[in-house]
Structure 1
């Protein structure tokens, strides 16, 4: 097998590795209602099943991206696939919600090893126009696996158990590991630099505190404490009248400020930093990460609400839910392949904008049609358009973000890009999940007070708590016991899902606006060979040499 052919086959194995992460997320989304029924987890735990994975994933991406540069990107990728597979086994065997969340934490560790190394391997292996094609293939492979995920998860959950939705990762992990070993060469960075452990701790603290506050605010109180729900560290109840949530937000802000201060200080001293301020000086990298984070706020949060609504309100099985969500995946797969063709004649940033615009149209359409009796044929076109947008935007946005990042810094650069998206995803799940459950509770409480005034207030409160705490899982039982009350619950959950969809559209609109600060080279412009100064700048940009900024700026001006 020729080296060039092996390189492209290796790209498929690399793409399948990150697709393993995507498949797991889509499978979990479809299986959530069954997990709620089997383990009896609450709506807050439902959010944490997603967030525990996403938070750890986001917090460790930069660390493992940098370590992969030093220790070997292929080696780190293989370790990550192994950790993720073992964690999947533990998740499949979890007897309680808390243990399932713990298993998801370990999955996050494995995923954080996988994602930045796939991007950095592509960034280090391909150049010029081939790099754009490689990212399109990467996106197309993910799109194909996304198409399989909901259907496979729905079938496994319906025919067997939600536990098999995690168990399927075992054979997938083995296939991916073998493919990488046979087709992918090791890639390392010649630099030797330490890891910013303090920065890693601060980033974990900042992101965890922020997401904790967003998720738990409706439980503990956003400002005044609900003492009955807050255990004190010293025993008894929370001793203050103010809720711990504002204090948690202050902690998140302080940790973020400390992380930025520490990063700037280390960068000035020529030391490695968790936040790569030298890379953030690159306009395309800085602005691209801002846009990616905002877009991710809207892209992934809505996926938490849809399976719950489809199964608990419309009464679909997990398999039927997977079939409906297949429209999103097919749109993503088709558009990712299309972007590989149009990249030759269209600027990547134009493709990104078109994709985000399609996402907005799809999500707004969903918000308009969501109701207790919405037909599947009305949902599918909206999801397909949304999927087209995801497919167009995802791969090309990644390419735009990394287009000016030196190869020697590809691990840190891809890790930062992935972190921005994952933090956006975590915030999206936290914010949209809170909007879903809070608005459902408020709407249901109001409607029951008007239509079921004969019911005692304590009974109405119990109904609202049951619907919200079970993430909608109590709705089918309410419909059987009292059609009128069950109908109000279905309407309230539909309203909550609709509000979440419109909020997601708002974030996507902000993300679209942010892309107008991005630029990319004309697609017809051939890649010019590097001058000696450009080559030196690319090497020095990834080193600890304080001259790297001046060299990079000199290379971009084309002066010697």
Structure 2
């Protein structure tokens, strides 16, 4: 089979990423129905998001490292297969434990997609063309993620909640055309299982600790224990295995870590608002999921447009500078919702600002990582970038969920503002390295 054209390749890759996003953004509107069917508490239902986010985050780095060893094609096919399998398990789950098992498998498979798609783009395109493709992909991400409540609400209304969770299984239809885009070059080396386990322990501990205010003291103690074990173990493994799961050349390189931390903060803000905005609109206006989704569509469009513009501006204006501007927009707009949480316009502005910050910054920061990372660790660098970024996607909602029950939703939103503020400071204080680093 002939390889698809560049335009068609970008469409296929964007569609695949969109299916993974639906696994997190579209399911929110179906949660109340799931709670009723299985008799769950709010804390129980939170794990539907948490286990997916945890597995997604760790899988990004895992598949990135595997791609460095066995090429992109095999990990991508395995990841899509796992995502589809998990989606089907959730779709037919007769009980809550089976549903959670499906979400674990779904999250692991979905986590393979962003890092491997980014690596395909990095190898297939160069220069301004690559920046534009990244911008196009992030436009798809912004639109699908922002309109997730509409997609989920429509599917739930027509077919039921199980189909909302099962939709990512359609990814299997893309395996054949996309596999042809993915190189299968092998490199010598071994996969660092211990490093992956230690990293997963740290992420699990962090999520448990953040959810402790609503999930209970036992969860908090468990989270603290995981961190006490995982953090020292991870640090020791980075020191003992410089080329392990978290390579020292990646962790110790500010040109790779500053973009990751900034992306973490901005995705945390975006996912926090993706949770908070529907909650505010439902509580203050009594709107249905479809009404809420329609109100948030302008925010999705703003993120899509911003990602395309940033993809073009980044190489000329500077990628860090472009991302800092996007983070400033998020900072200002999210603050509006914290101070005017009952106003529809304020809520939509906050969602739009968070969408702009996420879409625009990702378009340029991912491109920067592909330039700054040496070729032999590019897959690992993208994996670590996505690991840190998508941990932010679980931390943001955890902050909203953990604080809103204690301080109220407006104060919880105000706490989220710290993230984009830190991103602005980091990006403005760190000089952007020359693109020549990619050829080292």
Provide the TM-score with structure 1 as the length reference: 0.73
In structure 2, C-alpha distance between the alignment counterparts of 1:84 and 1:339, rounded to whole Å: 30
| Corresponding residue to 2:182 among 180, 186, 189 | 186
Higher gyration radius (CA) = 1
Structure 2 match to 1:544: none
Deviations 1:72-106 (CA, angstroms, capped at 9, x unpaired):
31232222122212211221222333332222111
1:278 matches 2:249: yes
| Corresponding residue to 2:279 among 296, 308, 314 | 308
Deviation at 1:437, TM superposition (A): 2.5
Q: How does 1:73-222 map to 2 (within 5 A)?
A: 73-171=72-170, 173-181=171-179, 184-221=180-217
Contact 1:33 1:308 in 2 (8 A): no
Structure 2 match to 1:354: 325
Contact 2:128 2:312 in 1 (8 A): no
Deviations 1:521-547 (CA, angstroms, capped at 9, x unpaired):
68xxxx77xxxxx89xx5xxxxxxxxx
In structure 1, C-alpha distance between the alignment counterparts of 2:357 and 2:410, rounded to whole Å: 19
Deviation at 1:320, TM superposition (A): 1.2
Deviations 1:12-62 (CA, angstroms, capped at 9, x unpaired):
322222221112211012322333333332121232111100111112322
Query: Structure 1 residues 13 and 508 mapped into 2: Cα distance closer, same or farther (>3 Å)?
Result: same
Contact 2:259 2:369 in 1 (8 A): yes
| Corresponding residue to 2:229 among 240, 244, 254 | 254
Contact 1:279 1:413 in 2 (8 A): yes
Choose between structure 1 and 2: higher helix proportion.
2
Deviations 1:432-481 (CA, angstroms, capped at 9, x unpaired):
21012233xxxxxxxxxxxxxxxxxxxxxxxxxxxxxxxxxxxxxxxxxx
User: Where does the alignment leave 5 or more consecutive residues of structure 2 unmatched?
Assistant: none
Structure 2 match to 1:408: 376
Structure 2 match to 1:338: 309
Query: Structure 1 residues 49 and 438 mapped into 2: Cα distance closer, same or farther (>3 Å)?
Result: farther
Provide the TM-score with structure 2 as the length reference: 0.91
In structure 2, C-alpha distance between the alignment counterparts of 1:512 and 1:84, rounded to whole Å: 35
Structure 1 match to 2:21: 22
Structure 2 match to 1:485: none
Contact 2:277 2:347 in 1 (8 A): no
In structure 2, C-alpha distance between the alignment counterparts of 1:305 and 1:101, rounded to whole Å: 23
Contact 1:52 1:108 in 2 (8 A): yes
SS of aligned partner of 1:263:
helix
Deviations 1:401-442 (CA, angstroms, capped at 9, x unpaired):
332112232211111000011222222222221012233xxx
Deviation at 1:395, TM superposition (A): 1.5
User: Where does the alignment leave 5 or more consecutive residues of structure 1 unmatched?
Assistant: 222-242, 440-495, 529-533, 539-551, 553-560
Structure 2 match to 1:510: 422
Query: Structure 1 residues 247 and 117 mapped into 2: Cα distance closer, same or farther (>3 Å)?
Result: closer
**Size of the alignment, in residue pairs?**
440
Query: Structure 1 residues 290 and 31 mapped into 2: Cα distance closer, same or farther (>3 Å)?
Result: same
